[in-house]
């Protein structure tokens, strides 16, 4: 492991010497400076992991050094050495951002322990930074896959709106990526360091929803033993994602509207209001405009939410994204699961391209994950696709060559593929017993034999 570098700044030679020996014997790489000015120069010209600095030095004091280090390298922990009579200064140094201080005279262990603690804090800080980058990487734009013109339009829109506080209403069928888009808006914007709080309005019982969202004070209702901040407050200066907004009961719609208009909330049971700064992104797979017509959703709230509408079209209306998504998930899951799958059979791709995808991208993702888990070779075949995927007639639709227009020809092709698929399935199910297969298909044995020949299935390989 690489040695950690420590800079000691002290005007007392004995002290420098003692510290240097102690630290070097513990495996640190040490440099020493005999006055504040020299110390500052070294910090500027070289890299150190820690600085240990005496408070009381002539000319450039420990506090001056501290201020300079914090300005140029705010992440280096600075440990101050405080002598008798400088304890107040040591506390002031802490306030200014010193990591810690030790009192003279100190034992060797004391300074080592302080360094170890600082090292641990530094490790945690880096880990945290890494995790935050991970989250950002996960939700940054490029992770929303889509080359279709509809998705490109959505990307352009997201880019435009990230840094504004305007309310966004994301709509689209289940699994079209509403939550993903909401997170992308948050993590691409200037609120990314602050919380993204997601609430599923449909998943929390109505009677709890108000206090979940707005919080409550102690004793507000039976069981409210302590006061609670509420999710809106938790999202302060960040983003609140209100999923399934169509499920919000009418009484809370009023309260939400008030919050959106005034940027104020009142906890359940409280007489005070609190001002909050929250960006709201709402999502729904329902037709909210229709809910408004039916009186289930307040019109004023609808308009207040729908400042920036973002509609995610179903996957079947942007089939050009399917192949790209398949490749994306293939890469993601082979990596995650440690599989070595490099190909997807053309037949499988055809099936995926033609399917209806009622569950949209979530359905596609789940089906691929399962296929990747189950596949032993290096190629995804249709073997581990669920039955409904192999069931007609969607795959046929894409199989129809573009110039075809004759209804007769197309229907013949559809019948052809349908029959072939069903016969293969029946044979598989009966383990190649043709008599029973014919029974299942409800055709005569002779008809089956004829069709087997017609479709070139006479010696089918039934796995």
Residues making contact with ligand ATP (CB under 6 A): 144-146, 172, 174-180, 285, 325, 328, 361-362, 365
Binding partner of 362, given Mg ion, ligand ATP, none, CB within 5-8 angstroms per partner class: ligand ATP
Residues in binding contact with Mg ion, number by CB under 5 A: 1
Q: How far is the CB of 182 from Mg ion (least distance, A)?
A: 8
Closer residue to Mg ion in complex, CB, 38/179: 179
Q: How far is the CB of 170 from ligand ATP (least distance, A)?
A: 8
Tokens standing for 154? 């959505």
Q: Is 200 in the site for Mg ion (CB under 5 A)?
A: no
Binding partner of 354, given ligand ATP, Mg ion, none, CB within 5-8 angstroms per partner class: none
Binding partner of 145, given Mg ion, ligand ATP, none, CB within 5-8 angstroms per partner class: ligand ATP
Q: How far is the CB of 363 from Mg ion (least distance, A)?
A: 13
Q: Is 122 in the site for Mg ion (CB under 5 A)?
A: no
| Partners of 8 in beta bridges | 32, 52
Distance of CA 21 to the CA centre of its chain: 48
Closer residue to ligand ATP in complex, CB, 116/331: 331
Q: Is 220 exposed, middle or buried (0-12, 13-18, 19+ CB in 10 A)?
A: middle
Q: Is 179 in the site for Mg ion (CB under 5 A)?
A: yes
Residue nearest to Mg ion (CB): 179
Closer residue to ligand ATP in complex, CB, 164/311: 311
Q: How many CB atoms are closer than 10 A to CB 283?
A: 26
Q: Which residues, including other chains, have CB under 8 Å from residue 379's CB and lie 6 or more apart?
A: 341, 342, 343, 344, 345
Query: Rg of the chain over CA atoms, in angstroms?
Result: 33
Closer residue to ligand ATP in complex, CB, 80/325: 325
Q: Which residues, including other chains, have CB under 8 Å from residue 253's CB and lie 6 or more apart?
A: 297, 298, 301
Q: How far is the CB of 309 from Mg ion (least distance, A)?
A: 17
Closer residue to ligand ATP in complex, CB, 126/289: 289
Closer residue to ligand ATP in complex, CB, 147/445: 147
Tokens standing for 260? 């959106």
Q: How far is the CB of 179 from Mg ion (least distance, A)?
A: 4
Q: Where is 170: in which H helix or E strand?
A: strand 168-172
Closer residue to ligand ATP in complex, CB, 285/375: 285
Binding partner of 215, given ligand ATP, Mg ion, none, CB within 5-8 angstroms per partner class: none
Q: Are the beta carbons of 165 and 260 closer than 8 angstroms?
A: no
Write b or e for each residue in 417-450: b if 16 or more Cβ atoms lie within 10 A of its Cβ, otherwise e. bebbbbbbbbbeebeeeeeebbebbebeeeebee
Residue 376 CA to residue 348 CA, distance in Å, equals 16
Residue nearest to ligand ATP (CB): 177
| Partners of 377 in beta bridges | none
Candidates 422, 355, 353, 432; CA nearest to 393 is 355
Closer residue to ligand ATP in complex, CB, 150/399: 150
Query: What's the Cα-to-Cα distance from 221 to each of 20, 216, 267, rounded to whole Å?
Result: 63, 9, 12
Binding partner of 7, given Mg ion, ligand ATP, none, CB within 5-8 angstroms per partner class: none
Q: How far is the CB of 445 from ligand ATP (least distance, A)?
A: 47
Binding partner of 253, given ligand ATP, Mg ion, none, CB within 5-8 angstroms per partner class: none
Q: Which residues bind Mg ion (CB under 5 A)?
A: 179
């Amino acid at each position: 492991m690489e040695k950690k570098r420590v800079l000691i700044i002290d005007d007392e030679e004995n002290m420098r010497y003692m510290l240097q020996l102690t630290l070097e014997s513990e495996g640190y790489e040490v440099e020493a400076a005999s006055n504040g000015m020299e110390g500052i120069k070294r910090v500027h010209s070289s890299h150190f992991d820690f600085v240990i600095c005496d408070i009381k030095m002539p000319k450039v004091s420990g506090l001056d050094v501290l201020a300079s280090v914090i300005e140029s390298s705010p992440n280096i922990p600075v440990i101050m050495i405080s002598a008798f009579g400088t304890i107040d200064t040591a506390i002031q140094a802490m306030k200014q951002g010193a990591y810690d201080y030790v009192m003279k005279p100190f034992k060797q262990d004391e300074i080592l322990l302080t360094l170890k603690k600082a090292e641990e804090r530094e490790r945690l800080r880096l880990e945290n930074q890494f995790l935050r980058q991970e989250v950002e990487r996960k939700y940054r734009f490029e992770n929303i896959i889509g080359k279709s013109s509809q998705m490109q339009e959505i990307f352009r829109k997201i880019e435009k709106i990230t840094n504004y506080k305007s309310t966004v209403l994301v709509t689209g069928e289940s699994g079209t990526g509403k939550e993903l888009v909401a997170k992308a808006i948050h993590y691409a914007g200037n609120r990314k360091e602050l919380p993204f709080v997601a609430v599923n309005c449909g998943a929390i019982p109505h009677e709890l929803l108000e206090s979940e969202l707005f919080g409550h004070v102690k004793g507000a209702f039976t069981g409210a033993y302590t006061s609670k901040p509420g999710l809106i407050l938790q999202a302060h200066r960040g983003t609140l994602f209100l999923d399934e907004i169509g499920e919000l009961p009418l009484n809370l719609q009023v309260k939400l509207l008030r919050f959106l208009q005034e940027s104020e909330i009142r906890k359940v049971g409280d007489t005070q209001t609190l001002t909050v700064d929250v960006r709201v992104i709402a999502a729904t797979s329902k037709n909210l405009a229709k809910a408004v017509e039916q009186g289930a959703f307040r019109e004023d709230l609808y308009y207040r939410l729908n400042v920036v509408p973002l509609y995610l079209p179903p996957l079947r209306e942007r089939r050009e994204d399917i192949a790209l998504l398949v490749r994306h998930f293939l890469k993601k899951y082979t990596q995650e699961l440690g599989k070595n799958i490099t190909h997807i059979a053309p037949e499988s791709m055809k099936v995926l391209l033609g399917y209806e995808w009622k569950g949209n991208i979530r359905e596609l993702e789940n089906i691929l994950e399962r296929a990747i888990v189950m596949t032993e070779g290096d190629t995804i075949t249709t073997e581990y696709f669920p039955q409904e995927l192999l069931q007609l007639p969607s795959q046929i639709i894409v199989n129809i060559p573009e110039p075809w227009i004759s209804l007769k020809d197309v229907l013949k092709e559809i019948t052809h593929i349908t029959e072939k698929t069903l016969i293969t399935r029946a044979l598989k199910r009966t383990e190649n017993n043709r008599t029973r297969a014919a029974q299942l298909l409800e055709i005569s044995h002779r008809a089956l034999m004829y069709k087997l020949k017609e479709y070139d299935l006479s010696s089918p390989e039934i796995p």
